[in-house]
Copies of this chain bind each other. A is one copy, B any other.
Amino acid sequence: MLTERQLFLLQLLVNDYIVSAEPVGSRSISKRDDVHYSPATIRNELADLEEMGYLEKTHLSSGRVPSEKGYRFYVDHLLSPAMLSDLEMKNIRDAYRRKFSETEELIHVTAELLSEFTNYTAIMLGPELLEMKLKHIQFVRLSGNKGVMIIVTDSGHVENRVVTFPSEIKAEDIEKIVNILNEKLNMVPLYQLQKRLNEEFRDVLRRNVSNYEHAMTLLRDSLEINDPEQIFYSGKSKILSQPEFQDIDKVISLLNVFEGKDLIRELMNMPPGGMHIRIGKENKLNGIEDCSLITTTYSVGSELLGTVAVIGPKRMAYPRVITLIDVLSNLLTKSLSDRKENNK
């Protein structure tokens, strides 16, 4: 169990290291106005904290640096959320007052604010398209034997496919099929569409539609939805100005993580709800052992969730980032639901 004084010193040390990025020595702590102990006393306490695993030294006679356990303790018990200045809050609110013609724009602006105000890299993960539910399908005939299949989801997202239908099928037939689908597949998640199509509609279609095989192929093609991983970054280079990224190899492996979309999905896969903080090796992924990741979710519509994240060095300004990510994800959710209201 840690004493009051140890808690106090640990907090000071982490705070100090977060801004300085230099190992913190006993003397520099002792010189602070709010500390009345001599360097020797502090050394003793720090030695104890090190023994318990909260601190580390970079070499035998260096100052101390928080260990991952130290950061974890700091984040769990010692940190108080930062306040944003009035000016900052004003700037943020103003940024959301603009009129956004696309949902995407709103997400991009949020990412930009987040990276701008934290000075780290912001990552936005859109909701998985495949998780959305079908609200409406419509087939629109264009010229010749081309048409657009329009798929509207419950959260208001619209997908379209240009399809060419073989001359064996009549446009009216397609419309007829789509009407049947509309009736039967309402609120079915998109990832189930193919399966349902195969299992339930073979017979229905065979009975109702001439040229049934052609129709099935057409439907299969137009309902094959492949998830465009909606990942957006802002301030990718910000994180690289941090002193821990002097090493070019670290930069490269981090950028590789950013480039591989699968890796990012995996990284950001968190238990639902609330805010999550992963420190250093808690991120089970090569290339970001020295980074911390803070994530939370924003919602689009009633249940569909996207993820907001900030990635920075382990030595991250946790209080400030936590506050900012909280404020911004809430504003984003609010703006998105306002949009939905207006659209009704």
A162 to B34, CA, bound (A): 59
- Interface membership of A276, Cβ < 8 A: no
A144 to B152, CA, bound (A): 14
Determine if A158 and B160 form an interchain contact, defined as CB atoms under 8 angstroms apart: yes
- Interface membership of A136, Cβ < 8 A: yes
- Interface membership of A344, Cβ < 8 A: yes
A306 to B256, CA, bound (A): 26
User: How distant is A150 from chain B, measured CB to nearest CB, in Å?
Assistant: 6
User: How distant is A124 from chain B, measured CB to nearest CB, in Å?
Assistant: 14
- Interface membership of A245, Cβ < 8 A: yes
Q: Which residues of B contact A160 (CB under 8 A)?
A: 150, 158, 160
- Interface membership of A176, Cβ < 8 A: no
Determine if A150 and B152 form an interchain contact, defined as CB atoms under 8 angstroms apart: no
Specify the main secondary structure of chain A where it touches its partner. Answer: mixed
A330 to B259, CA, bound (A): 26
How many monomers of this protein are in the complex? 2
User: How distant is A145 from chain B, measured CB to nearest CB, in Å?
Assistant: 9
Stretch from A2-10, A44-52, A234-242, A262-270 that touches the partner: A234-242
Determine if B146 and A150 form an interchain contact, defined as CB atoms under 8 angstroms apart: no
User: How distant is A128 from chain B, measured CB to nearest CB, in Å?
Assistant: 17
Residues A143 and B136 in contact in the complex (CB < 8 Å), given A156-B162, A248-B246: yes
Name the residue of chain B whose CB is nearest to the CB of A249: B241
Determine if A142 and B146 form an interchain contact, defined as CB atoms under 8 angstroms apart: no
Determine if A138 and B136 form an interchain contact, defined as CB atoms under 8 angstroms apart: no
Q: Which residues of B contact A148 (CB under 8 A)?
A: 138, 150, 152, 158
Q: Which residues of B contact A259 (CB under 8 A)?
A: 234-237
24 contacts between A and B (CB under 8 A): A101-B221, A101-B224, A101-B226, A102-B226, A135-B142, A136-B142, A138-B142, A138-B148, A140-B140, A142-B152, A144-B344, A148-B152, A148-B158, A158-B160, A164-B344, A235-B259, A237-B252, A240-B251, A240-B252, A241-B252, A245-B248, A246-B248, A248-B251, A251-B251
